Amino acid sequence: MPELSLISIVLIVLLLLAVFTVAQGVRTVPQGQVWTVERFGAFTRLLSPGLNIIIPFVDGIGHKLNVQEVVLDIPEQSVITKDNATVAVDGIVYYRVMDPAKAAYAVQDLTQALVAMAMTNIRAVIGEMDLDQTLSSRDRINTSLLNILDGATDPWGAKVSRVEIRKIEPPETLIRAMNLQMTAERERRASVAKAEGEKQALVLQAEGRRDAALRDAEAREALAQAEANATRMVADAAAGAGADALRYFIAEKYVKAFEAMAANPSSRLVIVPMESAALAGGITQAMELLRGLPAAGPATPPASPGGGLLPGDRPWNRA
How many other CB atoms are found less than 10 A from the CB of residue 280?
A: 11
**What's the chain's Rg over C-alpha atoms?**
58
47: buried, middle or exposed (CB in 10 Å: 19+, 13-18, 0-12)?
buried
Task: Report the alpha-carbon distance of residue 80 to residue 96 in Å, rounded.
Answer: 30
Give the Cα separation of 70 and 81 in Å (integer): 30
Cβ-in-10-Å burial (0-12, 13-18, 19+) of 188 comes to exposed
What SS3 class is residue 318?
A: coil
First to last CA, the chain: 189
Burial class (CB in 10 A: 0-12, 13-18, 19+), 302: buried
pLDDT at residue number 123: 93
Beta bridge partners of 43: 38
The β-bridge partners of 34 are 65
Angle value at C-alpha 39, between 43 and 65, nearest 5 degrees: 45
The 3-state DSSP composition of the chain as helix, strand, coil percent (nearest 5) reads 60, 20, 20
Query: How is 41-103 classified by DSSP, letter by letter?
Result: TEEEEEE-SEEEE--TTTEEEEEEEE-S-EEEEEEEEEEE-TTS-EEEEEEEEEEEES-HHHH
* 192 to 173, 189, 195: CA distances (angstroms): 29, 5, 5
Below-70 pLDDT ranges, the chain: 1-4, 234, 237-249, 254, 258, 261-262, 264-319
In tens, the pLDDT along 234-261 reads: 677 666 655 666 666 677 776 777 677 6
Helix axes 172-241, 243-263, angle to 10 degrees: 120
Q: Report the C-alpha gap between 254 and 287 in whole angstroms.
A: 14
User: Rounded to 5 degrees, what are φ and ψ at 213?
Assistant: -65, -40
Identify the helix (H) or strand (E) that includes residue 33: strand 33-39
Give the C-alpha separation, 78 to 171, whole Å: 10
- pLDDT per position as a tens digit, 111-169: 999 999 999 999 999 999 998 888 888 999 999 999 999 999 999 999 999 999 999 98
CA-CA distance, 103 to 160, in Å (whole number)? 13
| Residue 241 parent element (H or E) | helix 172-241
Is 312 within 8 Å of 262 (Cβ atoms)? no
